[in-house]
Structures are given as C-alpha cells and as structure tokens.
C-alpha cells in the first residue's frame, strides 16, 4: 500500500527517499509532532516538538532502526538531540534526524513514554 503524499514533503538522504510532515497530535494535547517515513515504510519515527531538554525523545514505530534489534514489536522511545530551531522544523533538521537515526556510532538510551530512562 502506498503512502499518502498530500501535505507531505519529500527528502532524499544517502539515496533513500523519505516523506515528512508536521501535524498536531491528538494524543499529545494537540502539540505539533514531526513524522518521518521511508517510502518502503520500514522506517517510521515521530518526534514531538518543543520537548524538555532532559527528556527529549523520539518514537520508533516500526522495524528498521539501527542499534535497536527489537524495533517493530511495540513502539520504542530513545533520547535524542533537539531537531527544531525555535519551534520550526526545516528540511535540514529532518535530514539531521534521519542521519542521526542511521548513525552506527550514536548512543542509544531507551526511555519510557515520558522520556525517563528505562531501568535494565
């Protein structure tokens, strides 16, 4: 099944195509959330804008996320850097997010739904 492209922007990173968009999320009190999806739908992440610095995280929704072999069974959350500038997402910041997700050298700290580190 194809991905809807209306009101979504395209970006190509290292030869791979993605779609991205920002939409108010009804599960998070209608705050803006960035969604990034690969064309083959093997990579889907969501990032709530304007999060607190100490608990900032993104949500991994499907199978492909390097360094997270159990991705795809249920949503996983990992601490991440700030991607927005002020409260704006740009194509450059989306590119940085995608590159960070696929960077084999990045540190991955899993967190709960509130952004607090999980106990091992």
- Residue labelled with tokens 């929704």: 61
Residue 103 CA to residue 117 CA, distance in Å, equals 21
Rounded-to-integer distance, Cα 95 and Cα 11, Å: 8
Per-residue pLDDT tens over the stretch 42-65: 999 999 999 999 999 999 998 888
* Farthest-apart Cα atoms in the chain, separation: 42
Q: In what helix (H) or strand (E) does residue 34 lie, and over which residues does it extend?
A: strand 31-38
Angstrom distance (rounded) from CA 104 to CA 28: 30
Is pLDDT of 10 > 90? yes
Q: What angle do CA 55, 51, 73 make, to 5 degrees?
A: 65
pLDDT digits (tens, 9 = 90+) for 72-105: 668 899 999 999 988 889 999 999 999 999 998 9
């Amino acid at each position: 099944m194809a991905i809807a492209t209306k009101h979504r922007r395209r970006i190509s990173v290292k030869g791979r195509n993605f779609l991205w968009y920002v939409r108010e999320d009804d599960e998070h009190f209608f705050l803006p959330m960035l969604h990034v999806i690969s064309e083959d739908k093997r990579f889907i992440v969501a990032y709530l804008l304007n999060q607190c610095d100490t608990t900032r995280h993104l949500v991994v929704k499907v199978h492909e996320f390097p360094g997270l072999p159990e991705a795809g069974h249920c949503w996983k959350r990992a601490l991440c850097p700030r991607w927005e500038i002020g409260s704006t997402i740009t194509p450059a910041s989306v590119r940085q997010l995608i590159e960070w997700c696929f960077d084999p050298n990045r540190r991955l700290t899993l967190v709960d739904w509130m952004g607090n580190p999980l106990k091992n």
